[in-house]
Amino acid sequence: MSNRERVLTALNHKQPDKVPYCITFTKIAREKMADYYRDEAFESKLGNCFIILESDPAWAWQEVRPNVWQDQFRVHWDRSVDRDIGIVCNTLVNRDNYADFPFPDPDDPSRFALYESAIKQNPDGFFVVDLGWTLYERAWTLAGMENILMAFMADKGFVEGFLDRITEWNLHMIDNICAFDIDAIWFGDDWGQQRGLIMGHELWREFFKPRIRTLFQRVKSHGKYVFLHSCGKVDELFDDLIECGLDLFNPFQPEVIDVFQIKQQYGDRLSFWGGISTQRTLPFGTVNQVKDEVRQMIDKVGKGGGYIAAPAHDIPADAKPENIAVMIEVLQKQ
């Protein structure tokens, strides 16, 4: 099977010839592995099953002062500690300006400039477009997390109106992306923390479920797959998300859910991407413990399809290079 065939087989909950995988890295972890392998191009040799395309415009990230980067919505991110994402350090939207705050142009051609050449160069690729920062994350990065959380209770009109604007922008982006021969759109909205939902299930259903359904169904109308990244313990949403049209959930964190039980419970209706511990095993485990965990994920969670093997998140900076290397070796030698 090609990687594309493996992914399609897994997403259809059937057993591929081997479990597909896709490994991603933080900047520091990538640098460590380039040194470990003595190969700056090591990522191109991993055998990842997804080809991930970005949807930001070419001008999206600009360093506006030392270690502070501005995104396409003009949010400022302090990357002096976290080099990959950073910490939001400005507030742009409030009750008075949310209706006319300028959003970036979803039709900017630089967003999609690399799609056709990438697709042409990889005829057997499975193409995933990272839309990211879908609703909650887009709202709080612009208006402040505390402000949005308080507005869930104290100013629902503001939250509803602002989320509607963000939804409409995302729908425009979905239509533009799906005009290309891609396979899936990957949404991102971190609703969870280690013990459960940040806003609780009731408020999630009130503010997010109707809009998530609208977004997911727009992707489905184009004949594409729906992927979602949401960190933390959010498994109480799986029935809702399946109802909305979700095909694959990431990051599938073993630190917050029982991945084997979840696969047994939902594996005929939902696929999973992740599952290898980034908080415990890769940073603190032994090489043999990593081998055992990866093999268990392949043999148990990968059985019958519905699984893309991977670390539970981008590999963090504190992961041991020898642990990363043995994980890659086990995945490649299936």
Please give the average per-residue pLDDT across 185-191, as a whole number.
98
> What is the Cα–Cα distance from 300 to 213, expressed in whole angstroms?
31
- Give me the pLDDT at residue 194, please: 94
Question: What's the pLDDT at 320?
Answer: 98
How far is 41 from 49, CA to CA, in rounded Å? 17
pLDDT, tens only, 291-331: 999 999 999 999 999 999 999 999 999 999 999 999 999 99
Quickly state the pLDDT bin for 224 (edges 50, 70, 90): very high
What pLDDT is recorded for position 61? 97
User: CA–CA separation, 159 vs 173, rounded Å?
Assistant: 21
- Residue 158 and residue 165 in contact, taking contact as beta carbons nearer than 8 Å: no
d(CA 204, CA 52): 28
Read off the amino acid at residue 102.
P
CATH code (residue 173): 3.20.20.210
pLDDT digits (tens, 9 = 90+) for 67-115: 999 999 999 999 999 999 999 999 999 999 999 999 999 999 999 999 9
Burial class, 318, CB count within 10 angstroms (exposed 0-12 / middle 13-18 / buried 19+): middle
Q: Residue 242 — very low, low, confident or very high, per pLDDT cuts 50/70/90?
A: very high
Q: How far apart are CA 241 and CA 201, in angstroms?
A: 12
Neighbours of 329 (CB within 10 A): 13
Domain residues for 51?
3-332
Mean pLDDT of 214-237: 98
Distance CA 177, CA 54 (A): 10
Q: Return the residue matching tokens 């399946």.
A: 242
What is the pLDDT at residue 269?
97
pLDDT interval class at 163 (50, 70, 90)? very high
Tokens of 140: 């709080």
Q: What are phi and psi of 309, to 5 degrees?
A: -70, 140
pLDDT for 261: 97
> Looking at this protein, which amino acid is placed at residue 149?
L
Q: What is the pTM of this model?
A: 0.97
Please give the tally of structural domains in the chain.
1
Q: Mean pLDDT, to the nearest integer, of 234-238?
A: 98
